[in-house]
Amino acid sequence: MNMALAGLVMLIVGDSHIAAAGFFNEPLQDALVSQGAQVHSFGVCGAAGSDWITPSPIVCGRGEKHNNQPAKIETQRDLRGWALPELIQRYNPNLVVIELGDTMAGYGVMPTLPRELIQDQVHNLLISVKARNLPCIWIGPPWGSEGGPYKKTYTRVKEESDYLSQIVAPCHYIDSLQFSQPGQWPTRDGIHLTMQGTEMWDKYLISSIDQIAQGMPRH
């Protein structure tokens, strides 16, 4: 039992690093629950910040998991994601964790980092968090590997991570790039880590969340 997390109601939302078709980030969820937190996690494959304000039809899967219950993975194209303000109202968390970055970087699509678009999405997504004065954590993307179908590059992910660290306040920012060297963690396609890579990433995320939670007020 971790006293910093014991009794904490945690809401986690994110992209395919949390949940995608046929996959859920079980190690992160299970570790946080084992330390005494109540954890409600939602992931939508391909979702950017705007999709958590006005949910779009899912394109490659969504998933949710509540505490130790089995994860529910769905891929029907007629389903949509979830709106963060509604999830906050439903679960009344005292810590919100947002994992987003890769979906907004514009790899292989935009010649430069779409800073204005990212800033708008971050601002709008955090309105409901700020309205309740909720403690929050924003998890930035890991290095992944260069190339693949998504055309990710180390230069772009580093630029985006640095930018996110400047604009996600009042959320604490977890810079996932600090935990490994570029390409060190294996991926399936350049962006999505293998289970081995996910477990290595989660180890650092759990430690970082623990440290941040120790200094957070309870709501």
pLDDT at 21 over 90: no
Instruction: Note the pLDDT of residue 1.
Output: 60
Does residue 127 lie within any of the structural domains?
yes
**What is the pLDDT confidence band of residue 215, given thresholds at 50, 70 and 90?**
confident
User: What is the identity of the amino acid at 47?
Assistant: A
Does residue 40 lie within any of the structural domains?
yes
Instruction: Note the pLDDT of residue 2.
Output: 75
Percent of the chain at pLDDT exceeding 90: 91
Q: What is the CATH number of the domain that holds 171?
A: 3.40.50.1110
* Mean pLDDT score of the chain: 95
If one counts the domains in the chain, the total is 1
**What pLDDT, in 10s, does the model give residues 120-166?**
999 999 999 999 999 999 999 999 999 999 999 999 999 999 999 99
Cβ-contact 190, 145 below 8 angstroms = yes
Does residue 143 lie within any of the structural domains?
yes
Does residue 132 lie within any of the structural domains?
yes
pLDDT at 219 over 60: no
**What pLDDT, in 10s, does the model give residues 61-97?**
999 999 999 999 999 989 999 999 999 999 999 999 9
Instruction: Note the pLDDT of residue 218.
Output: 60
Q: Averaged over 185-206, what is the pLDDT?
A: 95
3-state secondary structure the chain: CCCCCCCCEEEEEECCCCEECCEECHHHHHHHHHCCCEEEEEEECCCCHHHHCCCCECCCCEEEEECCCCCEEECCCCCECCCHHHHHHHHCCCEEEEECCHHHCCCCCCCCCCHHHHHHHHHHHCHHHHHCCCCEEEECCCCCCCECCCCECHHHHHHHHHHHHHHCCCCEEECHHHHCCCCCCCECCCCCECHHHHHHHHHHHHHHHHHHHHCCCCC
Does residue 84 lie within any of the structural domains?
yes
Q: Averaged over 95-119, what is the pLDDT?
A: 97
Please state whether beta strands 19-20 and 23-24 pair in parallel, antiparallel, or not at all (unpaired).
Answer: antiparallel
Does residue 219 lie within any of the structural domains?
no
Instruction: Note the pLDDT of residue 118.
Output: 98
Residue in 127, 133, 155 with CA at minimum distance from that of residue 143: 155
Does residue 4 lie within any of the structural domains?
no
Instruction: Note the pLDDT of residue 163.
Output: 98
Cα–Cα distance, 55 to 45 (Å, whole number): 12
Instruction: Note the pLDDT of residue 3.
Output: 78
The boundaries of the domain holding residue 123 are: 9-214
Q: Averaged over 28-56, what is the pLDDT?
A: 96
pLDDT at 6 over 80: yes
Does residue 115 lie within any of the structural domains?
yes
CA contacts within 13 A on the Cβ side of 39: 31
User: What tokens were used for 122?
Assistant: 């971050």
Residue 124 CB neighbour total at 10 angstroms: 15
